[in-house]
Amino acid sequence: MKEAIEILKNNDLLKIIDDELDIYLEIPHIAYVEVKKEDSKAILFTNVVDRKNDKKFDIPVLMNVFCNEKAVKLFIGDGDKIGNEIQSLLKMKPPSSFSEKLSTFGKLFALKNTIPKKNKGKGECQELIKLGSEAKLSDLPILTTWEQDGGPFITMGQVYTTSLNGEMKNLGMYRLQVYDDHTLGMHWQIHKDSNHFFHEYKKAGKKMPVSIGIGGDPMYIWCGQAPLPIGIFELMLYGFVKNKNAQLVKSITNDIYVPKDNDFIIEGFVDPSKLRIEGPFGDHTGYYTLEEEYPFMEVTAITSKEKPTYLATVVGKPPLEDKYMGHATERIFLPLLKTTAPDLIYYYMPENGVFHNLILAKIKTLYPGHAQQMMHAFWGVGQMSFVKHAIFVNEDAPSLTDHKAITEHILNRIDIEEILITRGVVDALDHSSPKFAVGGKLGLDCTGDEVYELGISLLSDNELLSKMNEVTNEIKDLKQYFTNTKNPVTVITVDKNRNQEELFEDLKSLYKYIKILVIIDASNQNDVENSYMLVWRVVNNMDSNRDIYIKENTICVDGTNKNTLDNFKRRWPDDVDCTPAVLQSLRDRKIIDISDEFIKEFQL
């Protein structure tokens, strides 16, 4: 971690803040603002306090370590290069010449570094050892990020677990709620490896050992969130990318092996017969995840370096540092995805689609229905199965990351006949589906030629809004996007007081002016001029089985918050918002420098 801090400093990617700042809201709010800036940097907080408990820490806090593309390249490497190395291994054939034999031998020999090395003795992560009642979570500067959070959460914990028979190892990234000095919640979602292990221990009636690393090489963090196939230990990826073995040592009070250079290790056991309410927590969806029962760990030891650094991240509305980590992951894992979807050329998951809510994919289209086949393949592959909305284009489409060009390309090819709406598993964090973890899937096949004609008469925004107001007084604002395409998008805000299908019906007489109609709630947060946050809001809020209607050849999308008017029986969560008084205090103290426009742009 000290090495990582030096790398950041030497590349002008580090801010050091010596002002006294609180682990409750202040430090996370500063990091949240910083990572949204175009020139964002990592931040090292050196003067950390817990005012609520009148406590001062001698442990610095580092945040936003993956602050931009440059930082990701420094800590992980060139994503395209690594992806090409994986692809060359997947395509490796028996050598036919001596030079090919040497090349093949070199590649295979390098793979020896993928196997983590178990060292004897203690590591620097165990220079200080606290056991039993002396091992207190309150000795760590664990942050409370959002006002409605259920308490402090460890947000960059590397969770190490093993299967019951010890043959499979896993490194995962899960949020970890602090209940008290010796109890830590485990947010193991239903599809995670650790959850599979948990059920093995539960069936056997045995306690499950868990060790949690904090800090060390930032590469551990990226490996922990990498979408590897079940059964592959994530630290093997560390060895492959770094071309050196991860160096491990045994935990003090259980048999889990952990990286010897972690700054902290929290050890303990999970009793599978016990669960506890976890949450709420302001998550990376930009909404609070509501309370649910999850396992928890009883802490048996906390070990650390003599002078550790506490590493944390902040989650909420995009953009965040997972944007930069996610884009590296896309490039590196493209070859693995191609083993299931060989005609895939490239894919892109925009961060304001919160990754699992929206994917764009470019394919080599070979036959009718090919895109639909690929949609089903995506929805059946590992973590891709949680994607809610998938849009497929042909190989001649513009770059998927050229937002304007690819959007125009898609809108010129949307055909109602080529829309696939189905149902399947969704991310456990998804709040819009009628049932927990099961919801609608939308696939758009835009691989064909442009659709023939516009088929509507265009009006100005003011003219169209005026006509809508003649029908109903519910509509407050309106903006049309991409009116130069075959399928312009009309966004309206409404004061919602009924099921929106009724409104879609009432507006039928105006569909000669509209091809795609999207409704969002009228509120201070929603701005029809802010397309970045509109995408975030709509793909978060819609379930395709419930919220898409075809009326008079117009595609209607209900992107409003759901409630009893929609027969929605789950509790709808609040937005993740900064506490205004905290933001203002930080501005007054000149610790952050942001305008009111910045606050509005990112819906802070």
Provide the CATH number for the domain around residue 84: 2.30.110.10
Distance (Å) of CA 505 to CA 273, 417, 454, 552: 51, 21, 22, 10
Q: Do 207 and 178 belong to one domain?
A: yes
Confidence of residue 50 (pLDDT cuts 50, 70, 90): very high
- Tell me 384's DSSP state: G
What pLDDT does 303 receive? 98
Return mean pLDDT, the chain: 92
Q: Do 152 and 274 belong to one domain?
A: yes
Residues 6+ apart with CB under 8 A from 19: 47, 589, 591
Last residue of a domain, one of 377, 412, 446: 446
Confidence of residue 104 (pLDDT cuts 50, 70, 90): very low
Q: Do 421 and 522 belong to one domain?
A: no
Tokens of 111: 């793979």
Q: Three-class SS of residue 439?
A: strand
Confidence of residue 110 (pLDDT cuts 50, 70, 90): low
Q: Do 196 and 121 belong to one domain?
A: yes
pLDDT > 90: what percent of the chain?
80
* 385: CATH: 3.40.1670.10
Per the listing, tokens 């048996």 go with: 300
> Residue 576: inside a domain, yes or no?
no
- Is the separation of the CB atoms in 49 and 55 below 8 Å? yes
Q: Do 157 and 75 belong to one domain?
A: yes
> Residue 330: inside a domain, yes or no?
no
Is the per-residue pLDDT at 92 higher than 50?
no
Is the per-residue pLDDT at 577 higher than 90?
yes
Tell me: the pLDDT tens digits for 390-441?
999 999 999 999 999 999 999 999 999 999 999 999 988 899 999 988 999 9
Last residue of a domain, one of 548, 566, 584: 566
pLDDT > 70: what percent of the chain?
95
Q: Which residues pair with 128 in a beta bridge?
A: 304
Q: Do 436 and 469 belong to one domain?
A: no
Q: Do 489 and 385 belong to one domain?
A: no
- Is the separation of the CB atoms in 555 and 516 below 8 Å? yes
What pLDDT does 466 receive? 98
Confidence of residue 105 (pLDDT cuts 50, 70, 90): very low
Q: Quote the CA–CA distance of 250 and 269 in Å, as a whole number.
A: 15
Residues 6+ apart with CB under 8 A from 108: none
Q: Do 362 and 477 belong to one domain?
A: no
Q: Do 87 and 155 belong to one domain?
A: yes
Q: Do 140 and 197 belong to one domain?
A: yes
Q: Quote the CA–CA distance of 557 and 481 in Å, as a whole number.
A: 15
> Residue 172: inside a domain, yes or no?
yes
Tell me: the pLDDT tens digits for 362-372?
999 999 999 99
How many CB atoms within 10 Å of residue 151? 15
Q: Do 62 and 194 belong to one domain?
A: yes
What pLDDT does 103 receive? 55
Q: Quote the CA–CA distance of 282 and 146 in Å, as a whole number.
A: 6
Indicate the number of domains in the chain: 3
Structural domain harbouring 439: 341-446
- Is the separation of the CB atoms in 226 and 240 below 8 Å? no
Dihedral of the CA atoms 442, 447, 448, 454 (nearest 10)? Answer: 60
> Residue 38: inside a domain, yes or no?
yes
Q: Three-class SS of residue 213?
A: strand
What pLDDT does 89 receive? 61
Q: Which residues pair with 444 in a beta bridge?
A: 391, 419
Tell me: the pLDDT tens digits for 238-259?
998 888 999 999 999 999 999 9
Mean pLDDT of the 159-166 span: 94
Higher pLDDT residue, 232 or 58? 58
> Residue 474: inside a domain, yes or no?
yes
Q: Do 440 and 465 belong to one domain?
A: no
Q: Quote the CA–CA distance of 13 and 378 in Å, as a whole number.
A: 36
> Residue 601: inside a domain, yes or no?
no
Is the per-residue pLDDT at 341 higher than 90?
no
> Residue 29: inside a domain, yes or no?
yes
Global pTM value: 0.93
What pLDDT does 339 receive? 81
Residues 381, 431, 26: CA angle, nearest 5 degrees: 105
Q: Quote the CA–CA distance of 309 and 46 in Å, as a whole number.
A: 10
Is the per-residue pLDDT at 12 higher than 80?
yes
Last residue of a domain, one of 387, 413, 446: 446
The alpha carbon dihedral of 356, 357, 363, 365 has a sign of positive
What pLDDT does 109 receive? 47
Distance (Å) of CA 227 to CA 75, 324, 473: 18, 15, 48
* Buried residues in 166-182 as b, exposed as e (16+ CB within 10 A): eebbbbbbbbbbbbeeb
Confidence of residue 583 (pLDDT cuts 50, 70, 90): very high
Tell me which range, 86-95, 130-139, 373-382, is most confidently predicted by mean pLDDT. Answer: 130-139
> Residue 227: inside a domain, yes or no?
yes
